[in-house]
Chains A and B, each alone.
Chain A
Amino acid sequence: MALLVATPRRAPWALSGVSGLIVAAVTLPLAYVVLRAFQGGIARYIETVATERMAGLLWRTSILIAGALAVAVPVALTGAWLVVRTDLKWRRFWATVLALPLVFPSYVAAFALIAVLGPSGLLQGVLEPLGVERLPGIVYGYSGALIVLSLFTYPYIYLLLVPAWSALDPALEESSRTLGAGPLRTWRGVVLPQLRSPLYAGGLLVALYVVSDFGAVSLVRYNTLTLSVFHAYRSLFDRTIAAATATVLIAVAILLVVLQARAQRGFRAVRRGATRPSPRVVLGRAQAPAQFGLALFALVTVGIPGGVVISWGLRAIAVGNPLGAIGAALSHSLQVSLLAALAASILALPVAFWAVRFPTRVSRTAERLCYSGYALPGLVVALALVFFVTRHAGFLYQTSALLVLAYVVRFLPEALSATRSALSDVAPDFEDAARVLGHSRWSAWRRVTLPMIAPGIAAGAGLVFLTTMKELPATMILRPTGFETLATRIWAAADEGIFSEAALPALLLLVVSVLPVWWLSIRPALRDRESRS
C-alpha cells in the first residue's frame, strides 16, 4: 500500500480566514477575566489573591477533587470490570444502568439527596414518630458534596473504560499469565497500564466537573472556588475580587489539563482491535452478591433521585402547581438550547474541516484553542463575557443572544469533536473522487462530504443541546432579568427548600434528556462492546 507521502495541501484562504475568526471569537473574550483581574494593578491583585481565605478555598476545592476521584475511579473500574470481564447475568441491562446517573445534573442530584436525607427530608419524616429528632447532617458540607460529585460523575470514567477494556487484546493478559505472572500481577502490571488512557481522560473530566460545579456545592453549602466567585460577583460592587478569584480557578483548570497531559505522555499502546473477545471470569457463587450490590448501588444513584423527582413532581401536578411559569421556563430552555446547538454545529464545521483536511501547526493549535471553553468553568466563561461585553458591546448585555454566545463558547468543543471525528472517518479520497468526476470543491463538499458526516454533526448538536439544557452557572449570571430556564427554577426552588416546586421542572428536564443521553452518550460507548462480544 502506498504511503500517502502527500505534500501538505494549502487551505483555501476563505476557509482559514473564517475558521480563524471563529476561534478568535470564542477564545479572545476569555482573556478579559485576566485583564479585569489586573485592572487595579499587580499589587492590588496579589493583595486579593494571596490571602488565607483563598488558601482555604483552594484547599477545600482540592480535597473535593481528590475525594471525588478516590470514589469515582474504583467505582468505575469495578462497574466496567463486571460488565466487560465477568459472566455477570443481565450484563447489558447493568451496563446501561451503570451509566444512567449521567442524566442527573449535579443540582438535581443534590436536591434529591437533601429531599431524602435532609433535615426535613423523607427519611426524617419516616423516623420522627420513632423518636429520631434529627438525622446527622451528612447532606451538608464536604460529605454531601462528595456524595453528589462522585456518584453522579463516575460515568464519565466508566463510559471511556468500557470500550477501551473490551478492545484490549486478550493475548496481552494471556502472555503475562504464561510468563508466570499471577492474576494480581497481571492486573497491575499489564491490564491497568493499558487502561491508563481512559482512566486519565475520564479522571480529568471528573476533576473539571468538580472544579466547575456550582449547583451541587451551593445547595449543600460547601464553599469552593467556583461558589466564592459567584458570591463575590453577586454581592460586591467591586468585581475585581470576582475576577481575581476566577484567575485562580483558571489556573487550577489549566493545572489539571497539564497534569493529565503529562501523565498521558509516557503512554504506549499497540492499538489492534481485539480479534476475539476476552474470556470472562466466572462469578459462580459471587453472582448473587454481585447482583445484590449492583441493585443497591443503582437504588442510590438512579432509583432514589429518580423516584424523588418523579414522586414530588407528580404530587406537584396533583395539587395544581402553577404550570404556566414552568411552561415559560421550559420554552426558554428549549429556545436557547436549540439556538446554541445550531450555532455550535455550524461554527464547528469550518474549524473541523480546516484542522482535519489541512493539518498544519496553525490549524491544529486553533482547533485546540477552541477546547479552552470546555476546560474552564461555565462561571468563568460567563464572567469573561460580562467583562468583554460591558466594555466593548454594551448592547449585548442582558440579552439572550449573549446567553447563547456563552453556551457556544462553552460547548463548541462537543460539536467540534463530533464533527471532527466524523470528518476524519471520511477519507479525502471521497472528495477527490467527486473532483475528478467534474465537481468543484464546493459541490464535492456539499454532495459527498456533508451527507456522509451529517450523523456526526447531528450527534454533536444533540450533545450541545443536552448540556445547554442542564447548564446552570453561566445561565445564572447572564440571563436577562426575569428570564427563567428549567435549570434556574430547579436551583432557586431547591435552594429555598421548596421541593415540590423544584421537582416539576426537574422531572421535565429528565424527561427531555433521558432518551438523548442514552442515544448520544451511553449507547455509542456500549455498542462497541456489544458488537464484539
Chain B
Amino acid sequence: MTPLLSIRDASIGYGSNLVVREVNLEVRQGEILALLGPSGCGKTTLLRAIAGFEPLRRGSIDLAGERVSDETRCVPPERRRIGMVFQQGALFPHMTVKRNVGFGLSGDAAKKRTEEALASVGLSDLAARYPDQLSGGQQRLVALARALAPRPNVILLDEPFVGLDIGLRERIRDQVGETLRTAGATAVLVTHDQQEAFGFADRVAVMQAGKVVQTDTPPRIYEQPATLDVARFVGAGRLLPATIEEGRLSCALGSWPATTASGQGFLLVRPENFELRALAGAQKPAARLVRTHYLGHDLLHDVTLDGSTVVQVRTMNLGQTLEPGPVHLHLRRGEFRWFPDGLPAGVQLTLGG
C-alpha cells in the first residue's frame, strides 16, 4: 500500500543555510507520526513545508498520490487538503466557535459538518462562544475540530499543547489522540517533549540539526537508539566508556561476557537497568550512594562508581530507605545498546554471566 504522505530527500533553506537536510519520511493512512527534536532542529520548518508554507530546496513531497512540493513546484496550502493545529490554537478572535469551525467549509453540508466536528471533541454546547470565552484546553479542542471539519488528508499539529498546565495537558492530549483515532485521521505531531511523542504517536521520527536520525516505534527509539546523539537525547541514561576484549566487556561497573566483536565504545545504561541493595559482605567494586531524589512513586538515586562516574538508578518506592554510603550496585543481565567507536550506528548486545 502506498503511503499517504511521503517525503523524499527533502531539504529546506536559503543559500548555504539549510534548516532541514535530506529528510525521508513516510506516513501511512490512519497513522500518527511524531516529529521529536530539540528547539531549532528544523521540525517545525519541515511541518510547514508539508503544509505548503515553506518551499523545498531539493527533494519532493507527495500527498495522497499527488506531487505537492518539489524543487520547482509548491502547491499553495489552501489546495493541499490538510488540516493544521497551531501552537496557541490560532482561533480567529472575531468569530464565534461555530464560525471558526465552519471557516474551511462551504455549501449545504457546512452546517451539519460543523456540528459533527464540534460534537467529535465534545464541545457542541460552546458553539456560540467567542475564543476569549474558552479555557486554554477548550481552545485547542476547537482548533482540532476546525482542522478536522473539512476532512483533510492529513492533520498537522505544531506543538498543540504548549502553554497548558501539566494535568490538563495530559487530559487534552489523550482526548485529541482519541478524537484523531476515532476519525481515522492521519496526523503528524511536532513536539520537543518525548513523553508526548511516545504517548501520542504510533511512530516517532527523531530530528537533530535538520536531519531525521531515526524513525521507529516508541519502544524501539527508547530501547535501541540508532546513534549516540539519539541515545543522549531520548530518556535518561548514561553512556559508559567500555572495552570488549576476548568476549568480555569491562567498564566501571564491572565485567561480563559479551556477544559482540572486540573494541572500544560506549555502553548505554538506564536508571531502570540497575538494582540497588545494602552492602552485604565484602563485595566489589564498591559503589557509593550519594543522594536519593524522592519522586513519590519512584526513587532516583545518584550513585558514584569510582569516585567520579555517576550513574542514576531508579527503584520503586517500597517504603524502605537506603542511607548514603557504600552500597551494592547490580546491573541486570539482558539486552543493551552498544556504540562501538568509529561506527555511526549502535548495535544490540547481550550481557550474560
Binding site for B on A (CB under 8 A): 1-9, 427, 429-430, 432-441, 447-448, 451-452
Contacts and interface: CB of A to CB of B under 8 A. Distances in A.
B80 interface: yes
Contacts of B152: 436
B192 A2 contact: yes
A432 B104 contact: no
B87 A1 contact: yes
A447 B78 CA distance: 14
A1 B88 CA distance: 11
Contact of B53 (A1, A9, A434, A438): A9
Contacts of A2: 39-40, 43-44, 87, 158-159, 190, 192
A432 B77 contact: yes
A341 to B, nearest CB: 23
The 7 closest A-B pairs by CB, nearest first: A437-B104, A429-B90, A435-B77, A2-B44, A429-B86, A433-B90, A436-B84
B48 interface: yes
Given A2-B192, A6-B54, A9-B53, A438 B78 contact: yes
Identify the interface centre among A432, A436, A437: most chain B CB within 10 Å of its CB.
A436
A7 B158 contact: no
B342 to A, nearest CB: 32
A281 B76 CA distance: 59
A106 B86 CA distance: 50
A1 B147 CA distance: 21
Contacts of A4: 44
Identify the interface centre among A1, A6, A7: most chain B CB within 10 Å of its CB.
A7
Contacts of A7: 12-14, 19, 45, 54
B103 A434 contact: yes
A436 B12 contact: no
A362 to B, nearest CB: 15
B12 A433 contact: no
A398 to B, nearest CB: 45
A233 to B, nearest CB: 49
Contacts of A439: 78, 103-104
Contacts of B90: 427, 429-430, 432-433
7 contacts: A2-B159, A5-B45, A427-B90, A432-B90, A436-B84, A436-B104, A437-B146
A5 B19 contact: yes
B93 interface: yes
Nearest to A6: B45
A9 B48 CA distance: 12
A17 B152 CA distance: 35
Contacts of B43: 2
Contact of B92 (A5, A6, A438, A452): A452
B346 interface: no
B94 A451 contact: yes
A6 B84 contact: no
Contacts of B87: 1-2, 429
Interface string B120-152: 000000000000000000000001001100101
B76 A440 contact: yes
B53 A448 contact: no
Interface string B49-80: 00111100000000000000000000011111
Interface in B71-115: 76-80, 82-84, 86-88, 90, 92-94, 103-104
Interface in B158-174: 158-159, 162
Nearest to A434: B103
Contacts of A427: 88, 90
Contacts of B82: 436
A5 B86 CA distance: 16
Given A6-B45, A7-B12, A7-B45, A433 B40 contact: no
Nearest to A1: B162
A1 B190 CA distance: 10
B78 A432 contact: no
Contacts of B40: 2-3, 5
A3 B39 CA distance: 6
B42 interface: yes
Nearest to A451: B94
Identify the interface centre among A4, A433, A439, A447: most chain B CB within 10 Å of its CB.
A433
Contacts of A452: 92-94
B159 A433 contact: no
B291 to A, nearest CB: 31
Contacts of B162: 1
Contact of B104 (A5, A8, A438): A438
Contacts of B103: 434, 437, 439, 447
A447 B39 CA distance: 32
A448 B90 CA distance: 11
Contacts of B156: 436
A433 B95 CA distance: 14
Contacts of B51: 432, 436
A359 to B, nearest CB: 14
A5 B42 contact: yes
Given A1-B162, A2-B192, A430 B92 contact: yes
Given A7-B13, A429-B88, A436 B94 contact: no
Contacts of B53: 9, 432, 435
A447 B100 CA distance: 11
A490 to B, nearest CB: 41
A447 B150 CA distance: 18
Interface string B12-38: 111000010000000000000000000
B78 A433 contact: no
Given A5-B19, A439-B103, 5 more contacts: A429-B87, A432-B86, A435-B78, A437-B104, A439-B104
A434 B104 CA distance: 8
A238 B268 CA distance: 88
A427 B158 CA distance: 14
Given A4-B44, A7-B19, A8-B14, A433 B94 contact: no
A8 B51 CA distance: 16
B54 to A, nearest CB: 6
B11 to A, nearest CB: 11
Nearest to B101: A437
A325 B84 CA distance: 62
B321 to A, nearest CB: 38
B10 to A, nearest CB: 13
Contacts of B14: 7-8
A152 to B, nearest CB: 39
Contacts of A1: 39, 87, 159, 162, 192
Contacts of B54: 6-7, 9
A453 to B, nearest CB: 10
A439 B146 CA distance: 14
Nearest to B13: A7
A449 to B, nearest CB: 10
Contact of A5 (B44, B80, B84, B150): B44
Nearest to A430: B90
A448 B93 CA distance: 9
Given A1-B159, A3-B40, A438-B150, A433 B84 contact: yes
Contacts of B83: 436-437
Identify the interface centre among A2, A4, A6, A9: most chain B CB within 10 Å of its CB.
A2
B78 A6 contact: no
B209 to A, nearest CB: 11
Nearest to B37: A2
A445 to B, nearest CB: 12
B44 A448 contact: no
A1 B39 CA distance: 7
